[in-house]
Structure 1
């Protein structure tokens, strides 16, 4: 079966978004009040702005490319369906996070160590990514561009409020892990169907279950950015993640 990029969205991204949006147990404002209503639009805007030049660079340098006659149109070097992905992925993962927050509470001891451990780890990952880019080794280029691009954002989030993130580590594990595995499966199917192709020249050649490790890393780090960004944005609402707080906020979005 030959799939277009639009068909990919109609099968793998839009249906779960519709399902998650229509089955939220309460109006979106029930999670984080008005901040809950603004978190996803702002995050989508940031994701679109930050990802657009990076992804155009990848396609322009043939690190990945899309199948012939599989896309509706391109803007710059990137298909319009890819631009849509910059918005649809944060919505998908963000709505899954809202579902989880509306059904669970998590309280852990706050400690300062994660700020420096988490921030330091992702700063080191960033440096590794920049080294991989600068090394001139073709096989390292795609991975270097991924972690060199995502690492500074993740380091900033941990340095900004690592203790808060660590308090909700179980939340992050579930709400990053499940959407990431789902997108790994969808990505592997898209690659198998030739919707897009990842250059073997610029990857290390490790492909568990037919998915290049670079692609697996991409969806992991981008979902980490989505979940951590939303959690920190909502953080200023007192007792935000308690069941009591959620159940007391039943007004629709304004």
Structure 2
């Protein structure tokens, strides 16, 4: 039985983080440029909901994880309302952190040009990860890990195929943008598991842990935060590229 509810989890851990990041981002970024566009946050959040909801509900139906008795208020389909809120809050949380980070002066002036070979290589890398995930689905003990990687593959293929060279040039921002929110959500997830808000089925998990956190959960938050940061960086890159004046306009 859960000792705290999923809603209390939001109030205790996610809402304060949103408020703090909103405050510091507003103060520290007033005078500088940012990689975050409000329209980009909307697009990424809507895509996150649309892409995650069917996958999430399927895994709940299969029994990969379940929620503690009394932990959730109401369910929509198989998932609780609080789960949908989490899916919506996570990209906003990550976007606020990315907005806080300093943007390199030349980041908005980079060409949108990417070679065909580079696009194919990026897409192949993402699909390769998805292929590994599909292979892991064959065994119950690796089903959850496989489901994460198989689900992540198409998104990574799309993002890397579209602009991995730009993401590589922005690797420092990417690493910091993904790293800090991931560490925070790892800690939050560890607490949620400890207090019984949700629990994973041993039959569908490897039993491997990273500092006490199941490797599947660690992978999930790392991958989803990577989706968000890459999506926001690429979105800003495209907008900047389209707004950049041509040589004739400059002259």
Establish whether TM, by shorter chain, passes 0.5. yes
Separation in 2, partners of 1:116, 1:72: 46
Q: Matched residue of 2:240: which SS?
A: coil
| TM-fit CA distance, 1:210 | 2.1
Contact 1:119–1:162 at 8 Å: present in 2 too? Answer: no
> What is the TM-score when the length of structure 1 is the normalising length?
0.85
Deviation string for 1:149-175 (max 9, x for gaps)? Answer: 011101110111111111101000101
Alignment of 1:41-190 (within 5 A): 41-100=42-101, 103-105=102-104, 115-133=119-137, 135=138, 137-190=139-192
**Partner residue in 2 for 1:31:** 34
Contact 1:30–1:36 at 8 Å: present in 2 too? Answer: no
Q: Label 1:36 to 1:27 Cα distance change in 2 as closer, same or farther (>3 A).
A: farther
Task: List 4+ stretches of structure 1 deviating above 6 A.
Answer: 108-111
| TM-fit CA distance, 1:84 | 0.3
Contact 1:126–1:149 at 8 Å: present in 2 too? Answer: yes
Contact 2:33–2:103 at 8 Å: present in 1 too? Answer: no
**Partner residue in 1 for 2:14:** 13
Q: Label 1:68 to 1:157 Cα distance change in 2 as closer, same or farther (>3 A).
A: same
Q: Label 1:29 to 1:66 Cα distance change in 2 as closer, same or farther (>3 A).
A: farther
Contact 1:8–1:190 at 8 Å: present in 2 too? Answer: yes
2:198 aligned to 196, 199, 209, which one? 196
> What is the TM-score when the length of structure 2 is the normalising length?
0.86
Q: Which has the higher contact order (CA 8 A, sep 6+)?
A: 1
How many residues are matched?
234
Contact 1:125–1:147 at 8 Å: present in 2 too? Answer: yes
2:232 aligned to 226, 230, 253, which one? 230
User: Which residues of structure 1 form unaligned runs of 5+?
Assistant: 241-254
Q: Label 1:115 to 1:177 Cα distance change in 2 as closer, same or farther (>3 A).
A: farther
Q: Label 1:235 to 1:65 Cα distance change in 2 as closer, same or farther (>3 A).
A: same
Q: Label 1:206 to 1:107 Cα distance change in 2 as closer, same or farther (>3 A).
A: farther
Contact 2:29–2:100 at 8 Å: present in 1 too? Answer: no
**Partner residue in 2 for 1:243:** none
